[in-house]
């Protein structure tokens, strides 16, 4: 959390309760980051590949910058109370607080274990084993009044001595490298004075028990009311060795103390560094249109001159779930430089947010560096406000040596279930009729038909004449055994034009219908959200594995895309279905007539960079669907210009 330096910079911080601060303490001194010799490490013998199924090119993180434990990790929690501060909760209560699935006492969003399971995509199962309560030799006030952290050190030694006969400390050396990963001391009563006594912190010691060194531990207070922030944050220091992210804002739990009960997630750069989500590496030669879900992948653009040290990383961050406390959604851009030790000075940040509304450099307003109350909607890149990122759009975006980055991101879309953006500034225009569908599925071509007048929807007055425009779309669907959908762009800008409203008003202003084969509008949704299931004739039906439902289309009116998929085991290659859905605004109706064809086995290449290997002889098609060549006998691609291609398996 924040250091004392901050007090001088932002005097308003002084108004916040002092409970907001906790530290890493090494050899009696507060530090912002573990020094080299005291960094947590983890010996990952089985650093397996994460199994992400993506169209893009995920990169397995072989070597993490920080300690990266995986799987089930045992953590030890020792409880201590005092004659003047008795245990406010039971051992069983603490076990639930740390481990119980769905723990919600006092409003907590899950237990500490739930938190790390969530942010790690289920890859880190942190299980705490709890012992207590030990009654300390002195009253709490005695420890609190000692100089600096000497009270903490004294209590720590007492606690270790007391529990030694009861606990096998070597059990908490999960990777068997001779040091424990996680020992927590939870004491009764609230923390009292920042930087003194028993103030919550992550500490280091020379203690040795049961043949292992107890190097890292953390101390958390238990005032009687449950919250998970402090435990989660201190675990971040202790287990992974993450630094405090000063001048960073609310965008990571290692930054501000944004919320005690529902602490914000670990930032996507650290998550990808752990291997919890994949990195997708981007170079200045890449051109592609990307669609990404919140927290799904972390895009990375390394400084070619210092590829191991400096880079830009970005991901789609949505203010839902673990990130609910954030004030906005969109692409969150970060600049890292591992040659800078942590975030100890505002003009030298190892990891900083590149705020969309400002460059995020030290010369900026401190309010932009560390927004109050901690995050702003204008930090995020998104359609309508900051839809582009480049050296030219934001002249202050530079590598730390002042040179241009060469990274260009354009056409950043509206945050919804997914977010789209173009890399390289040369992607197919979503509006152009010949490339729209290539991006989201293997092929589709919107056609806007001439106007016609038909029966108005039942809910409208019969005297109102409804003008109907049809948008014809085509997509092919791979045969899937798990409902896997393809995403189809619905031409939001074109639709908005027809309806006479802005694209970002569509979701709020229109009515949504399924359209029966005879043109009747059906206001009942049978799919997910604004979605429907259809039978083979395009009739709207309920989902029923034993019934006639066969194809679904779940629209997202915010992003103006739809997810189309089919029932497992009910289609065969070459099957074709026509399904219709409509949106109505005032006297205008847009009907989407979507022809869905079940395809032969195909492989989609969203970008030429993802296509290093392939089956010899596979046909390669360009964005217009024209064949442009085939794989050589060794599986190499033919010589092609940058762009988006589709590969059809031979
Ligand atoms: Zn901290």
Question: If pLDDT is split at 50, 70 and 90, which confidence band does 642 have?
Answer: low
pLDDT digits (tens, 9 = 90+) for 3-55: 322 222 222 232 233 234 557 888 777 777 888 888 888 887 544 444 333 33
Expressed in angstroms and rounded, the spacing between residue 13 Cα and the centre of ligand 1 is: 16
Is it the case that residue 255 has pLDDT exceeding 50? yes
The DSSP call for residue 346 is T
Expressed in angstroms and rounded, the spacing between residue 23 Cα and the centre of ligand 1 is: 4
Report CA dihedral (139, 144, 149, 151) to the nearest 10 degrees. -20
Mean pLDDT of 458-479: 66
Expressed in angstroms and rounded, the spacing between residue 260 Cα and the centre of ligand 1 is: 14
Q: Which residues pair with 580 in a beta bridge?
A: 515, 593
Rounded CA-CA distance 48/177 in Å is: 19
Asked if 531 contacts 554 with a C-beta cutoff of 8 angstroms, the reply is yes
96: helix, coil or strand?
Answer: helix
Report pLDDT for 25.
Answer: 83
Question: If pLDDT is split at 50, 70 and 90, which confidence band does 395 have?
Answer: low
Expressed in angstroms and rounded, the spacing between residue 159 Cα and the centre of ligand 1 is: 22
Expressed in angstroms and rounded, the spacing between residue 254 Cα and the centre of ligand 1 is: 6
Asked if 578 contacts 435 with a C-beta cutoff of 8 angstroms, the reply is no
Higher pLDDT, 639 or 529: 529
Look at the alpha carbons of 244, 245, 246, 252 in this order and tell me if their dihedral is positive or negative: negative
CA atoms in the 13 A half-sphere facing the CB of 434: 6
Question: If pLDDT is split at 50, 70 and 90, which confidence band does 374 have?
Answer: confident
pLDDT digits (tens, 9 = 90+) for 211-247: 999 999 999 999 999 999 999 999 999 999 999 888 8
Expressed in angstroms and rounded, the spacing between residue 33 Cα and the centre of ligand 1 is: 9
Show the tokens assigned to 504: 């970002």
Q: Which residues surround ligand 1, an ion (CB under 5 A)?
A: 1, 244
Rounded CA-CA distance 645/353 in Å is: 33
In order of 23, 31, 336, the CA distances from 34 in angstroms are 11, 7, 18
The mean pLDDT value of the chain amounts to 81
Expressed in angstroms and rounded, the spacing between residue 22 Cα and the centre of ligand 1 is: 5
Query: Strands, DSSP E only, in 28-171?
Result: 29-31, 58-59, 71-81, 124-135
Expressed in angstroms and rounded, the spacing between residue 236 Cα and the centre of ligand 1 is: 8
Asked if 111 contacts 124 with a C-beta cutoff of 8 angstroms, the reply is no
Expressed in angstroms and rounded, the spacing between residue 237 Cα and the centre of ligand 1 is: 7
Asked if 222 contacts 94 with a C-beta cutoff of 8 angstroms, the reply is yes
Q: How far apart are the first and last CA of the chain?
A: 56
Report pLDDT for 330.
Answer: 97
Break the chain down into helix, strand, coil percent, rounded to 5.
Answer: 15, 30, 55
pLDDT digits (tens, 9 = 90+) for 261-311: 999 999 999 999 999 999 999 988 888 888 999 999 999 999 999 999 999
Q: Given phi > 0 = left and psi -120 to 50 = alpha, else beta, which region is 491?
A: left
Show the tokens assigned to 485: 């959908």
- Quick one: angle between helices 91-99 and 112-119, nearest 10? 10
Q: Please, where are the H alpha helices in 453-523?
A: 492-499, 506-509
Expressed in angstroms and rounded, the spacing between residue 68 Cα and the centre of ligand 1 is: 18
Rounded CA-CA distance 337/342 in Å is: 9
Strand 279-281 and strand 58-59: pairing?
antiparallel
Expressed in angstroms and rounded, the spacing between residue 117 Cα and the centre of ligand 1 is: 21
Report pLDDT for 433.
Answer: 34
Expressed in angstroms and rounded, the spacing between residue 243 Cα and the centre of ligand 1 is: 7
Expressed in angstroms and rounded, the spacing between residue 341 Cα and the centre of ligand 1 is: 15
């Amino acid at each position: 959390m924040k250091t004392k330096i901050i007090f001088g910079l932002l005097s308003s911080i002084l108004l916040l309760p002092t409970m907001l601060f906790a530290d890493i303490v090494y050899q009696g001194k507060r530090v912002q980051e573990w020094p080299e010799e005291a960094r947590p490490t983890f010996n990952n013998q089985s650093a397996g590949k994460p199994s992400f199924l993506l169209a893009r090119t995920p990169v397995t993180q072989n070597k993490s910058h920080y300690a990266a434990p995986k799987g089930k990790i045992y953590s030890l929690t020792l409880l201590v109370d005092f004659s003047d501060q008795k245990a406010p909760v039971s051992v069983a209560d603490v076990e639930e607080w740390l481990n119980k699935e769905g723990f919600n006492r006092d409003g907590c969003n899950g237990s500490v274990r739930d938190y790390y399971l969530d942010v790690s995509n289920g890859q880190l199962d942190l299980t705490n084993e709890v012992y207590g309560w030990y009654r300390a030799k002195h009253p709490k006030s005695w420890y609190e009044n000692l100089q600096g952290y000497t009270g903490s050190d004294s209590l720590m030694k007492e606690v270790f001595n007391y529990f030694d006969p009861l606990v096998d400390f070597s059990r908490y050396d999960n990777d068997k490298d001779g040091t424990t990963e996680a020992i927590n001391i939870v004491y009764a009563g609230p923390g009292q004075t920042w930087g003194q006594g028993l103030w919550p912190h992550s500490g280091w010691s020379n203690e040795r028990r049961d043949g292992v060194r107890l190097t890292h531990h953390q101390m958390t207070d238990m005032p009687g009311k449950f919250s998970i922030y402090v435990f989660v944050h201190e675990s971040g220091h202790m287990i992974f060795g993450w630094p405090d992210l000063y001048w960073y804002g609310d965008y990571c739990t290692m930054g501000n103390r944004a919320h005690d009960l529902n602490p914000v997630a670990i930032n996507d750069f650290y998550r990808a560094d752990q291997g919890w989500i994949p990195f997708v590496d981007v170079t200045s030669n890449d051109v592609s249109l990307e669609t990404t879900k919140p927290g799904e992948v972390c895009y990375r653009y390394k400084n070619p001159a210092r590829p191991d040290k400096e880079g830009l990383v970005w991901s789609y961050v949505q203010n839902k779930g673990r990130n609910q406390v954030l004030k906005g959604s969109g692409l969150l851009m970060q600049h890292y430089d591992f040659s800078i030790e942590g975030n100890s000075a505002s003009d030298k940040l190892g990891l900083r947010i590149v705020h969309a509304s400002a460059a995020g450099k030290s010369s900026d307003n401190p309010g932009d560096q560390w927004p109050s109350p901690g995050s702003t909607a204008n930090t995020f890149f998104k359609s309508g406000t900051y839809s582009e990122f480049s050296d030219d759009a934001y002249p202050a975006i530079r590598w730390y040596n002042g040179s241009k980055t060469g990274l260009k991101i354009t056409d950043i879309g509206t945050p919804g279930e997914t977010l789209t953006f173009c890399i390289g500034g040369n992607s197919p225009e979503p509006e152009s009729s010949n490339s729209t569908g290539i991006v989201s599925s293997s092929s589709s071509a919107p056609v806007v038909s001439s106007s016609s007048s038909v029966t108005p929807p039942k809910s409208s007055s019969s005297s109102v004449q409804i003008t109907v425009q049809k948008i014809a779309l085509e997509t092919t669907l791979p045969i899937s055994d798990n409902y896997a959908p393809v995403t189809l762009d619905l031409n939001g800008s074109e639709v908005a034009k027809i309806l006479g409203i802005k694209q970002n008003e569509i979701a709020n202003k229109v009515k949504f219908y399924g359209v029966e084969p005879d043109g009747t509008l059906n206001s009942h949704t049978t799919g997910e959200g604004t979605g429907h299931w259809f039978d083979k004739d395009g009739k709207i039906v309920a989902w029923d594995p034993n019934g006639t439902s066969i194809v679904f289309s779940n629209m997202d009116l915010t992003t103006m895309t739809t997810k189309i998929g089919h029932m497992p085991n009910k289609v065969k290659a070459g099957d074709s279905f026509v399904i219709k859905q409509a949106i109505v605004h005032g006297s205008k109706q847009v009907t989407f007539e979507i022809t869905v064809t079940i395809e032969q086995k195909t492989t989609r290449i969203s970008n030429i960079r993802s296509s290093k290997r392939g089956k010899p002889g596979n046909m390669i098609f360009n964005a217009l669907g024209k064949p442009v060549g085939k794989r050589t006998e060794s599986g190499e691609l033919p010589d092609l210009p940058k762009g988006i291609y589709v590969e059809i398996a031979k």
